[in-house]
Amino acid sequence: MDALHEKITALQTELKDLGYTGYQIKEIIRESTDDKSIDQLTSQECTKLVEHLTSFVAFARKSKCI
């Protein structure tokens, strides 16, 4: 597994720890990847997904502080 895939996995775990359900995480990924599986993504698409997931993590962290 390359570094981007490892980062995606880590972000998925973090989202789950922050209270997102597995279904919600899958939907976030599905919307960001146009229904492609993570293994089918190009490096550029993986980078976009990492940015997208990171924004959800930031939002969830900020929401927990309120």
- Residue type at position 9: T
Six token digits for residue 19: 């209270």
pLDDT at 59 over 80: yes
Rounded average pLDDT over 19-41: 95
- Which residues does 54 contact at the CB level (< 8 Å), separation at least 6? 11
Given a cut of 80, whether residue 66 has pLDDT beyond it is no
Q: How far is CA 4 from the centre of its chain?
A: 11
Taking the model in full, what pTM does it have?
0.91
Each domain of the chain, given as residue ranges in start order, spans: 3-65
